Structure 1
């Protein structure tokens, strides 16, 4: 009891409520200055002793009083911070928080104005003198639990009422939720790594999950996929003329323009079964967009080169082809890991171990021709575009170079 008195003295609390639930002893404190005295009863403990092991209750404390009371019990123990008296808005917010968790209450007693269903609580009937047992009574801290009982309490907290607040089972529930979330997150990481390994044709290290180049096709594969698909597009379909296309290695989008007396019906019939979905018409039915989708193999987790020699080699090669690339360094942002339920925010991830440069250039020749033999270690293409201008195709290329 010495520990209890010290705890009460530190927090200026001199009245204690003790409740022995099925698997845990709970204790709550309140001060005499708040109006509590020996002979009163703990509201939360009184209700918990009558309504069962799993329930949520809220009610207006008096017809002329704007405040509401809230008590929630799970597995026979009072949930911490769920025995309180507050405004309607605060109690509704707390009820919503409780219901948003992975908790199922066997019974809910909620007022009609909350609009959440449930039964109405007859609080006056529950607080009849015949229902007030000695075990629900408040006690001065001069008496109360034995030292052995105090040790069993384990977790103590302050409550705005004399309800119990130390709740070991709720803590265990949160820890189990966090453990399952961590296991699910790790399983998802391993599944993603396995999928990347299958598409790259080699077993990748777990570090590959943090490397964007490991999740993309190599230069040759990208060109074969995108430039090859663009080359196979007809210049005209049922009187509709090709105007442009762009491809990012996963999705190719192409536009056609209606000419003469051609119709949307003819275009629909001619493209059916040849593209990922039906054409999307725009510009009052004079334009149409088509799509193709791909899942090319990935290049794997390249060992990166040092920045200076890699940039020198790449720019020299491009200049030798008569190209004028624009190259700029991009900020590398490492995303924060998602916090696990009930756990503190994770520490910031370490800084990235690579640099990222974006390159872009225009060319009159197809990229599949102009980029043959390009130094490609750490290089990935992001997008190629082509536009029909004066019966000639103009091309633009965007890529990413990753270096140490």
Structure 2
């Protein structure tokens, strides 16, 4: 290799320890090397030696033997650094010497360190020591002779800066020590559970603080969860009470008084009579034989007499002229037709709640006084005292009776005065006998009262 040696990007020094930077990676020199005799569990022996000497970090080189380079305690941060000696001994082939410049000493004299690699790959004991410029030439000569041993002709190249007289081969450390060439085996390893004594103390303090923080956090979290559970319980109870109240109100609403939105007896009869009075008995030859009055309107049914010359078209035209509506007629039975006159009756609203039996007795007595037969049926009530939640439900507080009667007496003569609260009519049917002109009434309705 014939390139000029590049100086490290930066050098940090503390005692014999120097930290050099190549390619943004830090390399340590100045380790104390020792051969480890224990072969079965060398790391155990390395840790024992490190503990005896109060050391924290070590670099390990495995060749024909196992060697440990111990790093003394220093203010420099050596964790994560590489051993420059192990890296060079691993990357360069054969027995060799490497000269690395370390900068100047406190007196301004140039300093160097050497790496001696034995023929079998081991690290020479003189490696990683600091030598001044005046010591360098003789030290290299002595180290080369020691590496050759009995093999006086063994070639031992000296790598380094070619400006140094004893260097035989130029070495570019930047080019050699690239990240892709580095192995984790070149790194210094911790001897005390992965941390130095100071780091262990700091870690212990951090753990203690962390445990206190966790304990406090758990206390606060437990208090928060307890408060949250209590709030949730209160909300659940409140919601349950609201749901219970809503279910009760819904059940109560289902028992709303059905007569509230229906017209009074007086209003119903008056409106029916008003419309019926406007319907002629004969409409263009068709006889009005059946008139039905309900809350929604009045329906008029007409028939065509036998052998009559009256026509359907004439009837339709007459009805349109009188009432502005179109009759409905059947092709299957052309002798019958009908039309409807819708109306809207004003609801009476609520009536005072008095016992149903009292109202029932008054109604029956009224029809008896007129010698009119009255049919009455009680509407059955199915009481649900509890719902599926076991909650007590309100019960219907009113009773309905449906009644009907057929009579020759007009409804206005039956229901006279204002003594018919709690009664609502649903239908009045007026049937006309076209033979003699007599009229028959059918009245239907409901009576309501307190149970």
TM-score (normalizing by structure 2): 0.40
Structure ranking higher on relative contact order (CA contacts 8 Å, 6+ apart):
1
- Structure number, greater radius of gyration: 2
